Amino acid sequence: MTMTTPLTPEIVSHEGNSMVLSMGPQHPSTHGVLQLMLEIEGETVAKIDAEIGYLHTGIEKSAENLFWSQAQTVIERMDYLAPESNALCYVLACEKLLGITGEIPERANQIRVLFGELTRLASHCVWLGTHAIDIGAITVFFHCFDLRENILDLQEAAGGARMHPNYMRIGGVNGDLPAGFLDKLDALIEKFPKLMRDLRGLLQANPIFQDRTIDVGILPAEEAVRWSVTGPALRASGIAYDVRKAFPYCGYDQYTFDVPTRTEGDAYARFLVRLDEMEESMRIVAQVRKRLDVPGPVMTSNPKVAAPPKETIALSMEALIHHFKIVSEGFRVPPGDVYHAVESPRGELGYYIVSDGGNRPYRVRTRPPSLYNLQALRGIAPGNFIADLVVMIGSLDPVFGEVDR
C-alpha cells in the first residue's frame, strides 16, 4: 500500500509561488459540510483535494438493522432535497426482490411518476436558488422557494410531511390522493409557465451571470464518462443518457418527454440543461394529471406485503392477526441480490440490495450520484481561478446527505 501525504494546511511549499489553502467547511458556498484543500499558485488552482464525511451518519448500516419498510425512512434522508427519488428507487428494488413488480396498480405508478417529477422540480429549485446566491444574485432565491413551497404543500397534502413524507411504500403508495389535491396541482400547472419565465428572465440573458458561468468548469464528454458523472452534468457534456429513457420504470415509456442536452459542458450549459429539465418535468406532470381522474387502487392486494384494509380489522380475526404480524414483525423477502436505478435530480441513483431471506435487508448499497459528480471536481478544477470553484461546485449540484450517507 503506497501512501502519499494528504494536502494539509501545515504543508506550505516555499518553492515557486504555490501554497496550500483550506476552503471550507465554513466557507458559505460549501454549506458547512465540504472541505477543499487547494494547492494554489497565485489565484490559480494547481491541485485540489476534498475532505468529505462531515455528514456521515451510517445510513447503510442503520438500514441493515431495520425492517424492510422501516429502512425506507432513513433512506429518504440521504438526498434530503429529493426524498421521493430515494424512496422510489428503494421500493422498486425491493419489489423486484419480492417479485411483485407486475402487481403494482396503474394508479400507484402514476402517482409515483408524479412525485418523482415534482421532487425533481423542488430539488432543482433549491439548486437554482443557492447557485444564484453563491454567484451573487439574491432575488432568484425567493422565486425558487416560492415554487418549491407549492410543491412541498402538495407533498404535505399527500404524505403528511413537507420534507420526508414517506409516501412511497413497498407495493404502492400510502393512501390515495386527498380531496382537493388535484385542484392544487392544476393551479400549480397553470402558474408554472409564468414562474419559469421569471426565473429565465432573471438569469439566462444576464451578462453578469453569463460572465461567471460561460467557459467555466468545462467537462468534456470523455472526461465525464471517466469520472462516472451522470445526470444533468453528463447531459450538458453531450451524452443524452437518462435512466428514464434507457431503462424505463414506473411506466415512463408511456409519457412523451425530451432529454435536453448541450455540448459545451461548462457551468452555463449545466444551468440551461437543468432549466430545460424543469420544463420537461412539468410536461410529464401535466400528462400524469390527465390520467389521475380515473380512480383505482393505489396499493397491491398481495397479502404478503400489504396490511389488510383498516375496515376489515374490526370484522375479521385473521385480518387483525395479519395486520399485527406485518406491523410487529415486518415481512420476509426471498434471498437474492438486485440492482435498481432511477433518474434522480442529480443523476443515476441506484440501490444494490442483498436479502438473506430475513425481515431486514442484509446489505443496502447506494450508488450516490452526488459522490461521483463531486469527485469530478478534481478533474475540472485545476487551472481555474479560486473564485470560479464556487460556480463549479454549484453547477455540479452535490447534496451532502448523499455524498456522506
For the bound state, the minimum distance from the C-beta of residue 340 to another protein, rounded and expressed in Å, comes to 6
Alpha carbons 106 and 313: distance in angstroms, whole number: 26
Give the 3-state secondary structure of residue 368. coil
* Per-residue interface string for the shown chain with another protein, residues 122-161, x marking contact by CB under 8 A: ----------------------------------------
Look at residues 291, 292, 249 and name the one whose alpha carbon lies nearest to residue 88.
249
Q: Of these, 130, 261, 370, 395, which contacts another protein (CB under 8 A)?
A: 261
Alpha carbons 237 and 233: distance in angstroms, whole number: 7
For the bound state, the minimum distance from the C-beta of residue 338 to another protein, rounded and expressed in Å, comes to 5
The three cell numbers of residue 37 are 484543500
User: Candidates 23-31, 174-182, 285-293, 370-378 — which segment interacts with another protein by CB under 8 A?
Assistant: 370-378
The three cell numbers of residue 128 are 437554482
Q: Of these, 206, 338, 385, 386, which contacts another protein (CB under 8 A)?
A: 338
The reply to whether 344 sits near another protein by the rule CB under 8 A is no
Residues 263-292 binding another protein (CB under 8 A) are 263
For the bound state, the minimum distance from the C-beta of residue 55 to another protein, rounded and expressed in Å, comes to 9
The residues near 309 (Cβ < 8 Å, ≥ 6 apart) are: none
Q: Of these, 218, 379, 382, 385, which contacts another protein (CB under 8 A)?
A: 379
User: Candidates 175-183, 185-193, 304-312, 333-341 — which segment interacts with another protein by CB under 8 A?
Assistant: 333-341
Residue recorded with cell 375496515: 311
The residues near 189 (Cβ < 8 Å, ≥ 6 apart) are: 282, 285, 286, 289
- DSSP H helices, 99-216, are 106-135, 139-159, 181-203, 207-213
Q: Of these, 107, 124, 169, 360, which contacts another protein (CB under 8 A)?
A: 360
Q: Torsion over CA of 352, 357, 361 and 364, rounded to 10 degrees?
A: -20
For the bound state, the minimum distance from the C-beta of residue 290 to another protein, rounded and expressed in Å, comes to 24
121 vs 124, 166, 252, CA distance in Å? 5, 18, 17
Instruction: For residue 339, give the H/E element and its range.
Output: strand 336-344
Residues 18-77 binding another protein (CB under 8 A) are 52-53, 56, 58, 60-62, 64-66, 70
Closer Cβ to another protein, 66 or 306, answer by number:
66
For the bound state, the minimum distance from the C-beta of residue 166 to another protein, rounded and expressed in Å, comes to 14
Alpha carbons 290 and 15: distance in angstroms, whole number: 67
User: Candidates 17-25, 33-41, 181-189, 354-362 — which segment interacts with another protein by CB under 8 A?
Assistant: 354-362
Closer Cβ to another protein, 238 or 251, answer by number:
238
Closer Cβ to another protein, 296 or 357, answer by number:
357
The three cell numbers of residue 268 are 452555463
DSSP assignment string, 37-68: EEEEETTEEEEEEEE--TT---HHHHHHTS-H
Q: Are 344 and 89 in contact (CB under 8 A)?
A: yes
Residues 158-197 binding another protein (CB under 8 A) are none
Q: Of these, 124, 340, 388, 389, which contacts another protein (CB under 8 A)?
A: 340
* Per-residue interface string for the shown chain with another protein, residues 223-252, x marking contact by CB under 8 A: --xxxx-x------xxxxxx--xxx-----
Is the Cα dihedral 237, 241, 245, 249 positive or negative? negative
Q: Are 172 and 306 in contact (CB under 8 A)?
A: yes
| Contact footprint for another protein (CB under 8 A) | 1-4, 6, 52-53, 56, 58, 60-62, 64-66, 70, 96-97, 99, 221-222, 225-228, 230, 237-242, 245-247, 259, 261, 263, 335-340, 348, 350, 352, 354-358, 360, 362-363, 365, 367, 371-372, 375-376, 379, 404-405
